[in-house]
Amino acid sequence: KAKENGRNQFHFFAKSMQQQVNRRVELEHKLRNAIKNQELNLFYQPIVDTQSASLYGVEALMRWQLSDGSFISPEEFIPVAEESGLINEMGEWLIKQACSDIQLLNSNCDCQCMLSVNVSSQQYRLGFNAEILSTILNDTQFNANLLNLEITESILLDNDQAVMNWLQDLRATGAQLAIDDFGTGYSSLSYLRRFPINTIKIDRSFISDLTASEDSAVLVKAIVSMADSLNLKVIAEGVENNIQLKSLNDLGGQYVQGYFYAKPLPIDALQTWVNEHICRFCCKKNKLTEST
């Protein structure tokens, strides 16, 4: 009986694994077509400087919309893109498109909006580098000092000289470097001094816990003060409500990205949002301070 159960369970797992593999293969095939048919899109989520109630920057996030209007989440298709190597051309396309979009946004007013893009460690392995980045910056006329490359902790952990050179070359273009999802990885903090990092983004999980868990508050406070003494900027991800914003500000957090201010928006909607909420320096308009 037990043997039979075991066998059934084995069949069950084997079947669901096979289904997962099939889904992967199918997704990769669909993704190739989506790239070819230009079905990938960019959304931009504002990052707010809460001290001056102004726009600090935006993060470009990839979106894949099917013909029926539904979306496939990046949590699902980015791993497929990484494993298949498609992330390389997707990533280059993204930076090009985002630089030209935000270049236009910045030319419409004096906002000087920073642009954050996610760079996967797989892009390092596949040959994305400073030379390619320089060409894009040149072609789009985007100010390199306004570009923020978001990488994850994992790539820094091997303490590899080649990674160090890669990052230093990227920095030499004028672009800045940020650590994404900070605090979720295997945390050896020494890399913050060793590598040429400018910004850390505190992972959303700490922010959602902020009001419920004393530990999260202690951690956020420690991260903010450590970043301060290392001269790093801190951006808090995933701020969804006023209570989280208040406690974050109490802990010294200044830069905020989250649904509380805005969800990721298509470029036209971003321009409208900026016009309506932010342009107090250039257009003397600012509704953010009223709403908070």
State how far the Cα of 238 lies from the Cα of 157, in Å rounded to an integer.
25
- Backbone torsion region of residue 174, taken as left when φ is above 0, otherwise alpha when ψ lies between -120 and 50, otherwise beta: left
- Residue 115 interacts with, from Mg ion, ligand C2E, none (CB under 5-8 Å by kind): none
Question: How many CB atoms are located within 10 Å of the residue 81 CB?
Answer: 25
- Residue 253 interacts with, from ligand C2E, Mg ion, none (CB under 5-8 Å by kind): none
State the minimum distance, in angstroms, from the CB of residue 74 to ligand C2E: 4
Q: Which is nearer to ligand C2E, 217 or 237 (CB)?
A: 237
State the minimum distance, in angstroms, from the CB of residue 14 to ligand C2E: 30
State the minimum distance, in angstroms, from the CB of residue 240 to ligand C2E: 4
State the minimum distance, in angstroms, from the CB of residue 63 to ligand C2E: 7
Distance between first and last Cα of the chain:
64
Q: Which is nearer to ligand C2E, 15 or 179 (CB)?
A: 179
Q: Which is nearer to ligand C2E, 54 or 116 (CB)?
A: 116
Q: Which is nearer to ligand C2E, 63 or 280 (CB)?
A: 63
**Rounded to 5 degrees, what angle do the CA atoms 77, 82, 86 make?**
85
- Residue 178 interacts with, from ligand C2E, Mg ion, none (CB under 5-8 Å by kind): none
State the minimum distance, in angstroms, from the CB of residue 112 to Mg ion: 20
Q: Which structure tokens are listed for 145?
A: 């000092």
State the minimum distance, in angstroms, from the CB of residue 180 to ligand C2E: 5
Q: Which residues bind ligand C2E (CB under 6 A)?
A: 45, 61-62, 73-75, 78, 94, 118, 120, 150, 180-181, 204, 237-240, 257-259, 264
State how far the Cα of 286 lies from the Cα of 290, in Å rounded to an integer.
8
- Residue 209 interacts with, from ligand C2E, Mg ion, none (CB under 5-8 Å by kind): none
For residue 149, the cross-strand partners are 117, 177
Q: What is the DSSP letter of 156?
A: G
State how far the Cα of 138 lies from the Cα of 174, in Å rounded to an integer.
12
Q: What is the DSSP letter of 80?
A: H
- Residue 161 interacts with, from ligand C2E, Mg ion, none (CB under 5-8 Å by kind): none
- Residue 101 interacts with, from Mg ion, ligand C2E, none (CB under 5-8 Å by kind): none
Q: Which is nearer to ligand C2E, 192 or 265 (CB)?
A: 265
Pairs from 186-195 (Cβ < 8 Å, separation ≥ 24):
186/153, 186/154, 186/157, 187/153, 188/157, 189/226, 191/153, 191/156, 191/157, 191/159, 192/226, 192/230, 192/232, 193/230, 194/159, 194/164, 195/156, 195/164, 195/167
Q: Which is nearer to ligand C2E, 62 or 111 (CB)?
A: 62
- Residue 264 interacts with, from Mg ion, ligand C2E, none (CB under 5-8 Å by kind): ligand C2E
Q: Which residues bind Mg ion (CB under 5 A)?
A: 118, 150, 180-181, 237
State the minimum distance, in angstroms, from the CB of residue 175 to ligand C2E: 16
Question: How many CB atoms are located within 10 Å of the residue 219 CB?
Answer: 17
